[in-house]
């Protein structure tokens, strides 16, 4: 079993919809949670960074961490075609603090 599980998709939704992207993990020591966005064949860019549990909001993006369920989510409100990309979750906090990556979810926003 992988330490971090993420559905690769693709997830296709109409423009304007609320998007929910998720990752589950198995290591209860993880404390730092990140979401990166990667456009096709470009370098990943950080979207959201949270420490421990709770919610964090930045514009149309909300990151949520539920440590009791070992589940993290990224919500995108009022989705735009420009949000079409692959979204990668990443987390750290284990014994060596190495960043563990999800496989990425490909998101397609249809105009």
Partner 1 sequence: DSGVTQTPKHLITATGQRVTLRCSPRSGDLSVYWYQQSLDQGLQFLIQYYNGEERAKGNILERFSAQQFPDLHSELNLSSLELGDSALYFCASSVEGARDIQYFGAGTRLSVL
Our finding on whether 18 is near partner 1 (CB under 8 A) is: no
| Lookup result for tokens 């990752």 | 23
Using CB under 8 A as the binding rule, the residues of this chain from 50 to 89 that contact partner 1 are 88
Residue in 1, 26, 2, 7 with CA at minimum distance from that of residue 74: 7
Can you tell me the distance from the alpha carbon of 27 to that of 12, in angstroms, rounded to the nearest whole number? 30
Q: By C-beta, is 30 or 79 nearer to partner 1?
A: 30
Our finding on whether 22 is near partner 1 (CB under 8 A) is: no
How near is the Cβ of 98 to partner 1 at its closest, in Å? Answer: 5
Applying CB under 8 A, the span of 52-60, 64-72, 73-81, 95-103 interacting with partner 1 comes to 95-103
Applying CB under 8 A, the span of 20-28, 53-61, 71-79, 93-101 interacting with partner 1 comes to 93-101
Do 22 and 8 form a contact (C-beta atoms < 8 A)?
A: no
Residue in 107, 38, 101 with CA at minimum distance from that of residue 72: 101
Residue 104's contacts (CB-CB under 8 Å, 6 or more residues apart) are 6, 8, 38, 86, 87, 88
How near is the Cβ of 83 to partner 1 at its closest, in Å? Answer: 19
* Contact residues for partner 1, defined by CB under 8 A: 31-32, 34, 36, 41-46, 49, 88, 92-93, 96-99, 101-104
């Amino acid at each position: 079993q992988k330490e971090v599980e993420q559905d690769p998709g693709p997830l296709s939704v109409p423009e304007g919809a609320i998007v929910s992207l998720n990752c589950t993990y198995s290591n209860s020591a993880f404390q730092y949670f990140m979401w990166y966005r990667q456009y096709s064949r470009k370098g990943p860019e950080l979207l959201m960074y949270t420490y421990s549990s709770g919610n964090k909001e930045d514009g149309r993006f909300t990151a949520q961490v539920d440590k009791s369920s070992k589940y993290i989510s990224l919500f995108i409100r009022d989705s735009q075609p420009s949000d079409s990309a692959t979204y990668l979750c990443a987390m750290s906090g284990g014994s060596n603090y190495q960043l563990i990556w999800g496989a990425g979810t490909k998101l397609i926003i249809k105009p």
